[in-house]
Structure 1
Amino acid sequence: MGLKGKLISETEIKGCKDLFHEMFCEKPHHLPNVVPQTIQAVDLHEGDWGTIGSVVNWNYTIEGDEKVVKVIIDEINKEKRLVTFKAFEGHLIEEYKAFKATIHIENEGDNNLAIWTIEYEKQNEDIPEPFSYLQLATNLTKDVDTHHVNQFFSKMGLKSVLCVKIEMKANKDVFHDVFTNKPHHVSTMSPLHVQGFDLLEGDIGTVGSKICWTYTLDGEKKISKQILEAIDHEKKVLILREFEGDVTDKYDSFKATLHNRNKRRNRFG
């Protein structure tokens, strides 16, 4: 590959992209608390955290060896959630004349990709390509993202709201009608997931009616008993509240809202 080269890795992250950028740009000194097995210390030598030109010393472990590197923050781009570290002193410089690592985040549809780019120049041909550093960066990405996801769920507490948006091609009126007035057809449409439907009380498609679903989740047969709590035909909204069954064994309250709305395309969430 010659003396000069570039390595790139892409890792999808589930946590907040702004928190991820903040960790590496403004709060890298928090990393030893998040990934102590990899980063043992991050100390500011010059300047201020999160500013171009600041000098930071990193103590880290790679392939079982403890190392030290001193870097300067070469570039920051808040919009692209980008930060570039340029090494100028420490173990890295013993092997590489130049070593620069950039982390930024790109959107790919509904996904966020954390992208590491390592640009380097080896001291000589006997020095290996820095694949181990690319792997270290990838592992850091996964560990930091897991930390943020766990923090998110721990802050949610006992009560929370989850929302999912799915693009659909079907007519929104027909879709709303199936779940409101013809839920007994769902088992025919999706037999792998829903095996049965029974009306327990009231009339189908009326507020206050009680229904029972037999379904499969994670390979196990389940039962869900719900009361139809609200219907809005104009907004295509349906609200179902659990009152008995497998779901109530784990949750004190559980309510599902199906909402079909227009946003360029028909979507529900």
Structure 2
Amino acid sequence: MAGSLPLEVALKSPADKFWAAIRDSTELFPKIFPDQYKSIKVVEGDGKSVGSIRVIDYAEGMPVSYSKEKIKVADDATKKVTYAVVDGDILSFYKVFEATLQVVLSADAKSSVAKWDIHYEKANPDVPEPNLIQDLASKTFKALDDHVMGAA
């Protein structure tokens, strides 16, 4: 019942600028995506380095209400972050839920690609694939890209 669900989103923004916005997501996401994120609070560490823990309270109407995530990998040089959900609604559906995001330069060297991959283990065979979460990530990356380009 374990699986992986990769996603690639083409971005208009340069990798460095998009990555900077991802690194500032604790502050940025509740401000620019209030329909998705009620709040994101750092409860351990600085919110950006390995071992940091953040608590996310999602807005009403979202498929989950709360999650706590721990950063397992944070590499600014390769623009890569991996986090594991360690508490929250998602864990009633998935025993394991980890996501890795890497922002890479496109072949044209002017834009970039967000590569996101979910690794999960279902709590039982009736649990659906996490397509809804993948769709939310895709929507968020595209909207963040628009925000970054508007702020450029």
Q: Tell whether the 8 Å contact from 1:9 to 1:115 is kept in structure 2 after alignment.
A: yes
- Partner secondary structure for residue 83 of structure 1: strand
Question: 2:73 aligns to what?
Answer: 75
What is the alpha-carbon root mean square deviation over aligned residues? 1.6
Q: Tell whether the 8 Å contact from 1:9 to 1:134 is kept in structure 2 after alignment.
A: yes
Question: 2:127 aligns to what?
Answer: 127
Q: Tell whether the 8 Å contact from 2:74 to 2:80 is kept in structure 1 after alignment.
A: yes
Calculate percent identity across the aligned residue pairs. 27
Shift of 1:22: 2.3
Using the alignment, how far apart are the partners of 2:103 and 2:150 within structure 1?
Answer: 20
- One-letter code aligned to 1:99: F
Using the alignment, how far apart are the partners of 1:18 and 1:113 within structure 2?
Answer: 11
Question: 1:114 aligns to what?
Answer: 114
Task: Report the TM-score, using the length of structure 1 for normalisation.
Answer: 0.53
- Alpha carbons of structure 1 residues 10 and 38: separation in structure 2 relative to 1, 3 Å: same
Extract unaligned runs of 5+ from structure 1.
153-269
Extract unaligned runs of 5+ from structure 2.
none
Shift of 1:64: 4.1
- One-letter code aligned to 1:42: I
Shift of 1:63: 6.3
- Partner secondary structure for residue 19 of structure 2: helix
Matched, 1:141 2:150: no
Q: How many equivalent residue pairs?
A: 150
Structure with the larger RCO, 1 or 2 (CA within 8 Å, 6+ apart): 2
Of residues 51, 54, 67 in structure 2, which corresponds to 1:53?
Answer: 51
Using the alignment, how far apart are the partners of 1:54 and 1:133 within structure 2?
Answer: 22
- Alpha carbons of structure 1 residues 62 and 10: separation in structure 2 relative to 1, 3 Å: farther
